[in-house]
Chains A and B, each alone.
Chain A
């Protein structure tokens, strides 16, 4: 079961990266053809840019995600003894190395994990969660996060986050260029070249936007959250702790420090979008559902 999950996550990470690579190469080829009349040079430049971006993302993802969410790292257990000890405990039972520990100064209770693999993982919690939850409840939350680490959920989610952010950036850039640069060109010289570029860009936009969405969607499996809840209970042997924690997290104000692109990483939606049922595009299953499943155990 667990190994299936790990294998599936690794496979999906491969798909996501492959899909992204193909997409970037296609864009490079199209742009190269348009501007220099040579699709080869466009493809080569795009390949170099994509490779550099992926390498940076893979080596720096933890730092990038943490700074996007205004998290600061703590290196000494005395800075937050209880949190540190609980993370040590959960790393011990989940049989993964001790991750890096981060704290986000935000009064809303929430937490997330990120990284490339269990050896390079990081867990972040808000000051709000440390203040409001007791030891047992916090243990449930940390157990949930360490399950994401052990299951390689963190790798898939972090890569998907990075890539869909990059596509989002491209789409923004292209649509701005289309409306301002492309638009002016159409007014100034009504040659066919401008129109072709305009058409190509709009086609790219049409193709790109749903692709970004589907990459994000792959990472946002709600089953993954249910599974991490169950794995957490398997580690702590205490469903009540996590149930109470989820109740407290549900009953609180939205986060201020969270980055919108990273919202899928959090244990509970940091922006508290209200939802009555598990709809297709929600990043998180409703907390009531998660509690109900935990209570059945």
Chain B
């Protein structure tokens, strides 16, 4: 009888251990996937910037200094080592800010805005910018899930044995929209 109880306890523990380990692995994979999504968008933007330079070439007076800064930041971004997420995002945030001011300034160039190639490029660039922001949001929420799992009892035991490490959150640039507090209390369920 005692033997049976012991076996049951051991089996239950093993099942729990395996499932805790698997969910840690799954969450870590989510974090990695979220990063690779950001990475894809960063590369896409890096590819778009030379097009921006060539499209605006004909407009000699178009914000040369800002454009130069964009190109410099782009080159700086490609030079950052691939596994340094924090520095990558820091440069990327600067690039986003500069690009945004470039978009705003383009309002002053009516003939440039009439250029379909330019407007297409603007759409592509703002698409990439948004996707970077949203992928970062996703990345941070998957990091939060993983961190919770690593720190909370009892899954922290499994995390410690297998050396799971917390990932860092990606910093959101200051000027970026502050998340409004969504209050769901107003929405009573009609069950």
Contact = CB atoms under 8 A, between A and B. Distances in A.
Interface of A: 1, 4-5, 8, 81-82, 85, 88-89, 92-93, 95, 135, 139, 221, 223, 226-227, 230-231, 233-234, 237-239, 293, 296-297
A17 to B, nearest CB: 19
B179 interface: yes
B83 interface: no
Interface stretch (B53-61, B67-75, B120-128): B120-128
B181 to A, nearest CB: 7
B189 A4 contact: yes
Contact of B180 (A4, A88, A227, A233): A233
The 8 A-B pairs at the shortest CB distance, nearest first, are namely A85-B127, A234-B182, A237-B179, A93-B134, A297-B180, A227-B187, A1-B184, A92-B134
Interface of B: 37, 120, 123-124, 126-127, 130-131, 134-135, 137-138, 177-184, 186-191
A1 B188 CA distance: 10
5 contacts: A89-B134, A93-B137, A227-B187, A237-B178, A293-B186
A58 B178 CA distance: 41
A1 B184 CA distance: 8
B180 A237 contact: yes
Contacts, number: 64
Given A82-B127, A230-B182, 20 more contacts: A81-B123, A81-B124, A81-B127, A82-B123, A88-B127, A89-B130, A92-B37, A93-B137, A93-B138, A135-B126, A221-B190, A223-B188, A223-B190, A226-B186, A227-B184, A234-B182, A237-B178, A296-B183, A297-B181, A297-B183
A103 B138 CA distance: 29
Given A88-B131, A238-B177, A81 B187 contact: no
A226 B126 contact: no
